[in-house]
Structure 1
């Protein structure tokens, strides 16, 4: 029998060495990849005697992998999008935005200061930019009351002004002067307040609203448009009133002799008062309307209002009616007098006795006028 012997060199690796080499290569592969939250398990089939070596090497490998916090840039940006509805491309942009917000425009800083100190919104803030020195007096007082008396609408403010400063031309002159003085004092107080606020929070009106949110920019644009339209409307109304006042002065001039009415074929003039008196009352249509309203601005005398308005809209018809009534009454009176009808009841003569003397009036006789005494003969 022939035996063959094979020489085993010392360089040939054992199974344990091969397994160790595989684990080392796997560790290098993991270290080159981006760390993930989960650590991939490595399973290497090996004989039972190599289990101890495998366990030791895997534990060492897991110790070399850095722990992940579970939060990355995408998660942060996604949270900001869901929480604040703000699109940011990267975390770097987020920090750039924060840095740029630290240098806001002057008008935005003024608004934030105003909102922090007063608690009011953008509309009230931009109201301060009005020119209150040249505004209509009632508008200035109304804006001032809307700030001092919170929770009131425009109608409430108007009612409040009427209660404090309203009067009729028929009121006592002393009371009217007191109300006018009170209104002047309130106007001065309002203008002082607005000018102080305007100086404190003054901003350029041409500001584009940079730095404001979309809603604030919309409110700002709408308000600026409202201001421009209000100026146009106010100027137009002022021109109309000036024109109305000038035409009224032309009517009630020094040569005013009354109003002319056409009655039939005649023209009749009627002057209900002096020119100055009529001009003062009729320069404001509210003087007519307020006669039929109560303190709450509600109509208190609807019948009187529509009667007066009907006369005002049909003056010739009413003049003709009253003229015809007067003519008819005069004709009836003349007719009755011309017939000379004595409607008194004719009475028989009455006998009166005094001191034994009996006196009785008698009718006309042929003997003429005078006193007639008849004696009674006694036997």
Structure 2
């Protein structure tokens, strides 16, 4: 990917999705967990937005809220806006949101084996969409399902549509999930940890496939992951999340070259490198905060080696760092101005 690649262009016409100041909480007898605390990001047509962060940072909850599958107890959307091509989704009726799911935006879930129904063939599960959304006959729908498997490079697709999920390897099951998600040609695809539990070779194949399909179809892609190494070659822009907040956003080239937030810095330093042979791998000390008791000030300050009194007392606002970059750190300018 070129450092100056502006796939989406950023014009209003290309804007697919806008998430603005989104708040979500989970309520239980043990208390209220503030899972999302003002999340904002957007994705344009033809570009890849990577959403990074540790487990529990709110990446998947944001995606599920966007898809409209997290609007029942114990999850409650308490504020914010989600707009698809300018249309507000949080106030749209369930029928309208159902129309958009699959047709306009689709999601690949983390665990393909759990997401696929074990008692139906993969062909049946893909063909079902064509039968109910396109009115195709069973025969035509199965033929179309075979085409989708062939599109995601599954060998002998016409025969394998008759097989069950357990008969596929982990990487092939993930390809089946991609085929199912793209069956109705959506404008926006959300891929939630699409390379989890796959070996590095298969990870690279899946990422290359997603990037190739994005280019061919001109769709927007939101890639959710905790692995910075996975997205280095495919992301245009990156939003880094911590404790239910976006703490840094930048184009991929700038963020990898010089992180503007200590949390991003820690994630970068934890990536294994060939020149580190014989050295202990760096890690971020401590644990993410409990979402029922987020610390005052900057939520990252208990784990931050740069923390000062201001970090413990005041939640940092986003600092505009220029060229589309922003960081929710009191000392963001100092971080990116280092030699």
Give TM-score, length-normalised by structure 2. Answer: 0.19
Structure showing greater relative contact order (alpha-carbon pairs closer than 8 Å, 6 or more residues apart)? 2
Structure with the bigger percentage of strand: 2
Structure with the bigger percentage of helix: 1
Structure whose alpha-carbon radius of gyration is higher: 1
